[in-house]
Amino acid sequence: MPKYALLIDLTKCVGCRSCTTACQMQNELEPYERWLRVQEVEGGKFPSVTKWFLTVQCQHCDKPPCISVCPVRANYKRKDGIVMIDEDRCVGCKYCMVACPYQARIFNEERGVAQKCWLCYRRVEKGVAPACVVACPASARYFGDLEDPDSEISKLVVRLKATKLRPDLGTEPSLYYVR
């Protein structure tokens, strides 16, 4: 079984928000609905300060807090590693939104359910990379199968010494970042 993941090379990211927009186009979201956000991060010490960008979306954790707190079991993890929300089961209690340390979820007021990145699973099932990966003009985003040791992403994780977001929280995310 594959284990799909993303690797995001933040050293290449220019903060253009193409990924956010591509995601909104792909998933037919409103302009204020972001399954993928770009945060500006300030670093360094005065006078040599820097600013860089951090793109955050669902981390498709192996131990997702959203699944353990969801009272109706509307959150589940597919065998290929994608964390999903069953919109026909969600009651809109927002507990998952509160419990997600990555703040990766939005509330769809119209449907009354929580929504988030689903790693473009329909594209992935057809063998096409997620919209955010294809759209990135800096080629900072890589999609692939971590179970396959010969895949590009598996090699890049090792070569670029990629890390995960807040691994200390014990959520075991599937997304890797290079910074």
Question: What's the min distance (Å) between Cβ of 151 and another protein?
Answer: 26
Query: Residues 39-68: x/- map of binding to another protein (CB under 8 A)?
Result: x-x------------x-x--------x--x
Question: What's the min distance (Å) between Cβ of 101 and another protein?
Answer: 3
β-partners of residue 5 are 144
**Joined tokens for residue 171:** 């959520």
Helices (H), 44-162: 65-69, 95-99, 121-125, 131-135, 152-159
d(CA 91, CA 94): 8
Q: Which of 73, 122, 155, 161 binds another protein (CB under 8 A)?
A: 73
Question: What's the min distance (Å) between Cβ of 33 and another protein?
Answer: 14
Cis preceding-peptide flag for 101 (omega within 30 of 0):
no
Dihedral angle, C-alpha 98, 103, 104, 106, nearest 10 °: 60
Are 60 and 5 a contacting pair, CB within 8 Å?
A: yes
Amino acid at 84: M
Question: What's the min distance (Å) between Cβ of 62 and another protein?
Answer: 15
State which residue, 16 or 169, has the beta carbon closest to another protein: 169
Query: Residues 6-45: x/- map of binding to another protein (CB under 8 A)?
Result: ---------------------------------x-x----
Question: What's the min distance (Å) between Cβ of 150 and another protein?
Answer: 31
Q: Which of 128, 148, 170, 172 binds another protein (CB under 8 A)?
A: 170
State which residue, 26 or 108, has the beta carbon closest to another protein: 108
Query: Residues 82-121: x/- map of binding to another protein (CB under 8 A)?
Result: -----x-xxxxxxx-xxxxxxx-x-xxx-xxxx-------
Residue closest to 83 by CA, chosen among 103, 102, 62, 68: 62
Are 26 and 34 a contacting pair, CB within 8 Å?
A: no
Are 6 and 133 a contacting pair, CB within 8 Å?
A: yes
Which residues lie near another protein (CB under 8 A)? 39, 41, 54, 56, 65, 68-74, 87, 89-95, 97-103, 105, 107-109, 111-114, 165-166, 169-171, 179
